């Protein structure tokens, strides 16, 4: 027996509602069982690829951070060479890049020929805008506002919108490095599409150093920055630019950094590409599901869409 919306009445509670018995009166049009299984198989293939990308990104990020710490924080290759040993796990051409001696500096011992610079000395930390000054007059021609919540969860239908009159340097694009300096201190390479940079977020860029190098120094100090923010007796803890000045980094000569870039840049780039592909596949999955269930499209068409997305 079918039902209508008028069937829903107040059922002894303060608000109108629909209990399980009433909802059972509404018919559902479902595909045949074999078609349901085919739909599930297609959508599971997307989920499997998204899970694979997530695991791959995690592993690549772990490798990049481990290499960065070994090379630029612990100086493992330099210490090995200073002891007359071959740096473990390094090809000869990579091992040859590192000096064989540590020298004294304001940060203690560092590799010979390397220099100490402040975090804000190796990059520009551009603070976002109060974007209520750039209201979106045309929702179809606007930018999502990237706040801390968007850094954490991505852009969604509830995200605020801003006019495209926002100055170009405050527009965020995929691959930009973002760092929230108040509230929940987060840092990441952005993969959520074009957006407008809100206040309380830095867009970090450098003309001299590759962004994997700058980004990993931010990661290195992130826990310390989080502790500083948490210690402030305010409703929203934060760090100040002064903290960027006292956070010191150790930088190799340009020629060494250029050769190490060949190792590190592909790791970071592949992480970014995995996340971009996963976002595309998630959007595709969510768009295909209702159309497959309703019969608007067939499984063969959905498979073709998936193959095109993965090509």
Q: What's the confidence (pLDDT) of residue 164?
A: 94
For residues 28 and 272, give the distance between their C-alpha atoms in angstroms, rounded to a whole number.
41
Confidence tier at 309 by pLDDT (50, 70, 90): confident
Would you state the pLDDT for residue 18?
57
Determine the Cα–Cα distance for residues 250 and 158; give it in Å rounded to an integer.
41
Structure confidence at residue 7 (pLDDT): 45
The pLDDT of residue 74 is: 96
Burial class of 77 by CB neighbour count within 10 A (0 to 12, 13 to 18, 19+): buried
Number of neighbouring beta carbons within 10 Å of residue 12:
7
Q: 3-class SS at 5? A: helix
Cβ atoms of 225 and 239 closer than 8 Å: yes
Write the pLDDT tens digit of every residue in 239-287.
Answer: 999 999 999 999 999 999 999 999 999 999 999 999 999 999 999 999 9
Query: Angle at Cα 203 formed by Cα 117 and Cα 212, nearest 5°?
Result: 55
Residue 10: which pLDDT band, with cuts at 50, 70 and 90? very low
- Rounded Cα gap, residues 218 and 223, in angstroms: 9
Q: Are strands 124-127 and 201-205 parallel, antiparallel or unpaired?
A: antiparallel
User: Residue 277: beta bridge partners?
Assistant: none
Residue labelled with tokens 């995200």: 159
Burial 241-261 (b: 16+ CB within 10 A, else e): eebbeebbbbbbeeebbeebe
Q: Would you say residue 112 has pLDDT above 90?
A: yes
pLDDT of 3 strictly over 60: no
296: CB partners within 8 A, 6+ apart: 290
pLDDT at 166: 96
The two three-digit tokens of residue 25, written as one number? 């009166």
129-133 contact pairs (CB < 8 A, 24+): 129/166, 129/167, 129/170, 129/196, 129/197, 129/198, 129/199, 130/198, 130/199, 131/160, 131/162, 131/166, 131/196, 131/198, 131/199
Tokens of 96: 């040859």
Q: 211-231 vs 33-68: helix axis angle to the nearest 10?
A: 90
The yes-or-no verdict on residue 174 having pLDDT over 70 is yes
Q: Report the pLDDT value the prediction gives residue 134, as an integer from 0 to 100.
A: 95
Rounded Cα gap, residues 278 and 57, in angstroms = 11
Q: Which domains does the chain have, with CATH numbers?
A: 1-30 (no CATH), 33-111+258-310 (1.10.287.1120), 117-248 (3.90.220.20)
Weakest-pLDDT range from 4-8, 176-180, 293-297? 4-8
Looking up tokens 């499209």 gives: 297
* Per-residue model confidence (pLDDT) at position 15: 52
pLDDT of residue 183: 82
Alpha helix stretches (DSSP H) within 20-98: 20-23, 33-68, 76-82, 92-95
Q: Which segments of the chain does DSSP mark as H helices, in order? A: 20-23, 33-68, 76-82, 92-95, 119-122, 148-153, 211-231, 241-246, 254-294, 299-310
Mean local confidence (pLDDT), 186-198: 96
Predicted local distance difference test score (pLDDT) of residue 20: 65
> What pLDDT was estimated at residue 235?
59
What predicted TM-score, i.e. pTM, was given to this entire model? 0.85
- Quick one: pLDDT band at residue 5, thresholds 50, 70, 90? very low
Placement of tokens 């409703």 in the chain: 235
Mean pLDDT across the chain, nearest whole number?
Answer: 89
Q: What is the pLDDT of residue 311?
A: 72
- Tell the burial category of 105 from Cβ atoms under 10 Å away from its Cβ (0-12, 13-18, 19+): middle
Question: What is the mean pLDDT of the segment spanning 63-82?
Answer: 96
Q: In this predicted structure, which of 6-10, 130-134, 293-297 has the lowest mean pLDDT?
A: 6-10
How far is Cα 202 from Cα 205, in angstroms, rounded to an integer?
A: 9
User: What's the rounded mean pLDDT across residues 106-125?
Assistant: 96
Decide if pLDDT at 124 tops 90: yes
Q: Per-residue confidence at 23, pLDDT binned at 50, 70, 90?
A: low
Q: Specify the range with the lowest mean pLDDT, choosing from 95-104, 225-234, 275-284, 293-302.
A: 225-234
């Amino acid at each position: 027996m079918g039902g209508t919306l008028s069937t829903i009445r107040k059922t002894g509670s303060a608000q109108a509602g629909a209990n399980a018995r009433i909802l059972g009166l509404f018919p559902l049009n479902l595909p045949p069982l074999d078609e349901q299984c085919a739909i599930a198989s297609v959508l599971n293939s997307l989920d499997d690829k998204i899970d694979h990308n997530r695991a791959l990104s995690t592993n690549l990020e772990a490798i990049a951070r481990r290499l960065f710490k070994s090379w630029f924080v612990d100086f493992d290759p330099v210490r090995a060479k200073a002891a007359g040993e071959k740096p473990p796990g390094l090809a000869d051409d990579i091992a040859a890049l590192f000096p064989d001696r540590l020298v004294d500096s304001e940060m203690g011992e560092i590799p010979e020929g390397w220099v100490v610079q402040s975090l804000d000395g190796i990059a520009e930390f551009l603070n976002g805008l109060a974007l209520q000054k750039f209201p979106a007059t045309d929702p179809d021609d606007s930018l999502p506002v990237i706040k801390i919540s968007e850094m954490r969860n991505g852009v969604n239908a509830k995200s605020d919108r801003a006019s495209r009159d926002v100055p170009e340097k405050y527009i965020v694009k995929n691959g930009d490095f973002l760092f929230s300096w108040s509230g929940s201190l987060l840092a990441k390479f952005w993969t959520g599409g074009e957006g407008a940079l809100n206040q309380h977020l830095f867009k970090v860029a450098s003309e001299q150093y590759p962004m994997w190098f700058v980004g990993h120094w931010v990661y290195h100090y992130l826990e310390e920055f989080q502790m500083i923010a948490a210690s402030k007796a305010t409703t929203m803890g934060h760090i100040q630019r002064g903290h960027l000045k006292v956070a010191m980094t150790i930088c190799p000569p340009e020629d060494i950094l250029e050769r190490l870039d060949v190792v590190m840049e592909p790791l970071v780039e592949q992480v970014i590409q995995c996340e971009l592909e996963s976002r595309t596949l998630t959007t595709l999955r969510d768009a295909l599901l209702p159309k497959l269930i309703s019969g608007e499209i067939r499984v063969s068409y959905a498979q073709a869409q998936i193959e095109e997305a993965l090509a």
